[in-house]
Amino acid sequence: MELRFTDEERAFRQEVRDFLAAECPEATRQHMIAGKSPTKQMVVEWQRKLNARGWAAPEWPKQYGGTGWTPAQKYIFREELQMWPAPVPLGFNINMCGPVIIEFGTEAQKQRFLPRMLNLDDWWCQGFSEPGAGSDLAGLKCRAVRDGDHWVINGQKTWTTLAQHADWIFVLARTDPAAKKQEGISFFLVDMKTPGITVRPIVTIEGGHEVNEVWFDDVKVPLDHLVGQENKGWDCAKFLLGNERFGQARVGASRERIRRLKIIARETMDGGRPLIEDPEFRRQMTEMEVELKALEMTVMRVIANETKRAGTGKPDPATSVLKIKGTEIQQGVSELLMKAAGPYAWVDGDPDADGSNEWEVAPDWAFGLAGVYFNWRKQSIYGGSNEIQRNIMAKAFLGL
């Protein structure tokens, strides 16, 4: 039993920090400290710096541009990026579609798509959810029909995150309507510039445009853009969804937000004294920190387990904790940030429309906190809602 990071791992952490200090644009960092999502340009610029350093896709096998890091190193890397904060490698490219192509794709698909994913020459988005297929993803209706030398896709996808930035979309579509739910689905790679694709923004409650509807109207897709076998797309989907073992815990991101919360709680006054001196508020912060510490150790256990079983073992019950606890903590901290801002959290959006806060209708630090609070309610809904997670746990681990 050895429960500490090794000297090599600590040295690696420092290496990542040094890289961040040298390479991460300060404007990106400040933008993210303020609680705003990085812009497309910020993400692309940063992803290319990571790629130049060989760090674009830590989870990939080395031959395709991965780093060959241990699970502990991958975790440290991600945690340091989140704490800086800096954008993490684009999930759609690096954690979702890339691994599916590596696992199920042809050599030609690998050659064509993987290098462009690493360098963010192509921005990918995910075409899974539909209006009638959310938690019950296998109930999807989007159809792909073979017509000579191509597939023709018709249907509607929704909640498509950042489709407005995307060059490509990976799509689950039904190729055999007669088969049982999961058995008639295939996995396609579709160029967003193909005629027949329409992207319509969905504005979420905080006022942001993050998600979209994507409509497919007789969209022609070349035959070689099918990944894996026809009607075996559900295997790709399961692989993709199961691939994210510790990404959802976001321990570093929560720690960064708690740091921010403490700074704000020192600056904001409550009852004639700094809010941080209020025992009740402090206690609520501490409860979050304590759960976060436990979550961090849970992630370590999952990592140690992965190292031991090299990813082939049966799922570890600790894994299922990560999504539920990770999102509960993030939502809890975002709620405390909103509370800390008090009435100054009420400013809607960006009144002077350029993020400069020149009008000074509220202190700089209060800017955007409500937006994050409202937006982050999504966390317990996406990626398999937390209730679906509990269903999975009941079946897989509790034998109920």
Partner 1 sequence: MDFDLNESQGMLQDSLRRLLGDKYGFENRKAYMASETGWSRDLWAQYAELGLLGLPFDEEDGGFGGGGEEVMIVAEQMGRHITLEPWFSTVVLGGGFLRHGAEPGLRAAMVEDIAAGGLLLAFAQQERQSRYDLHDVATTAKKDGTGWVITGRKGMVLHGDTADRFIVTARVAGGQRDAGGIGVFVVPARSDGVNIRGFRMVDGSRAAEVEFSAAHAEAVLGDPEGGLPLVNAVVDEAIAALAAEAIGAMDVIHAMTLDYMKTRQQFGRAIGSFQALQHKAADMLVAIEQSRSMAYFATMAARETDAPERRRNMHAVKAQIGRSQRFVGQNAIQLHGGIAMTMEYAAGHYFKRLTVNEAMFGDTDFHLRALSDIGGLVQAA
Output phi, psi for 162, to 5 deg. 55, 30
Nearest-angstrom CA–CA distance, 234 and 217? 23
The mark string for 361-390 relative to partner 1 (x by CB under 8 A, - otherwise) is --------------------------x-xx
The tally of CA atoms less than 13 A away on the side-chain side of residue 60 is 27
The distance of closest approach from Cβ of residue 72 to partner 1 in the complex, given in angstroms and rounded to an integer, is 6
Which whole-number Å values give the CA distances from 21 to 72, 80, 85, 86, 370, in the listed order? 21, 11, 11, 10, 29
Tokens of residue 358, six digits:
């020149």
Considering the complex, what minimum distance in angstroms separates the CB of residue 397 from partner 1?
6
Contact flag: residue 391 with partner 1 (CB under 8 A):
yes
For partner 1, the binding residues in 310-349 under the rule CB under 8 A are 317-318, 320-321, 324-325
User: Exposed (0-12), middle (13-18) or buried (19+): which is 43, by Cβ within 10 Å?
Assistant: buried
Q: Which of residues 263-302 bind partner 1 (CB under 8 A)?
A: 263, 266, 279, 282-283, 285-287, 289-298, 300-301
Using CB under 8 A as the binding rule, whether residue 176 contacts partner 1 is answered as: no
> Binding marks (x or -) toward partner 1, 45..84, rule CB under 8 A?
---------------------------x------------
Nearest of 234, 241, 228 to residue 103 by alpha carbon: 228
Q: What one-character DSSP code corresponds to residue 349?
A: S
**Smallest separation (angstroms) from partner 1 to the CB of 237:** 23
Q: Under 8 Å CB-to-CB from 234, ≥6 apart: which residues?
A: 138, 172, 182, 183, 185
* Count, residues near partner 1 per rule CB under 8 A: 51
Query: How far is the C-alpha of 95 from the C-alpha of 101, rounded, in Å?
Result: 11
Q: Is 11 in the site for partner 1 (CB under 8 A)?
A: no
Q: Per-residue x/- marks for partner 1, 127-156, CB under 8 A? A: ------------------------------
Q: Is 397 in the site for partner 1 (CB under 8 A)?
A: yes
By CB neighbour count within 10 A (0-12 exposed, 13-18 middle, 19+ buried), where does 340 fall?
Answer: buried
Positions marked active-site: 244
Contacting positions for partner 1 (CB under 8 A): 1-5, 72, 255, 258-259, 262-263, 266, 279, 282-283, 285-287, 289-298, 300-301, 303-305, 307-308, 317-318, 320-321, 324-325, 387, 389-391, 393-394, 397-400
